[in-house]
Amino acid sequence: MATAALMAALTGGALAGCSGEGATSTCSSTGCTITFERNVTNAKISILGIEVQLVSANNDSVTLKVAGQEVTVQRGDGVQVGDFSVKVTSITDSQVVVEVTR
């Protein structure tokens, strides 16, 4: 089991795929890509030891609560929240995609 985990880490493969309330993620050793469903109220997920929640979204920006801190991020931009970098990569009518890295 430990060998399989070590091989996944060394090859850069996905280490975990998590799901939350209205959200899913794919994680590697460096961070996670989260897909939030826009039609779910209080969509949230726990990743990398923190909770990330979609508060609101429009065509140009997303408001998230990251580890208890509320931030607004423009599409294509990123912000620093504590030890984490948060970037909004996509906003559609049905989903918001966010990358979170340490």
Place of tokens 């609101």: 56
Does this model's pTM top 0.95?
no
d(Cα 71, Cα 3) in Å, to the nearest integer?
Answer: 39
The model's pLDDT over 19-72, given as tens digits with 9 standing for 90+, comes to: 688 999 999 988 999 999 999 988 999 999 999 999 999 999 999 999 999 999
Relative to beta strand 31-37, strand 23-27 is antiparallel
Calculate the CA 50 to chain-centre distance: 10
What was the pLDDT predicted at 72?
97
Domain for residue 4, yes or no?
no
Domain for residue 36, yes or no?
yes
Domain for residue 5, yes or no?
no
Torsion of CA 5, 43, 90, 39, to 10 degrees: 140
Q: How many CB atoms lie within 10 A of CB 29?
A: 13
Domain coverage including residue 76? 14-101
Rg (CA), the chain: 14
Sign for the CA dihedral angle at 81, 83, 87, 88 comes to negative
pLDDT surpasses 90 at 17: no
Number of domains in the chain: 1
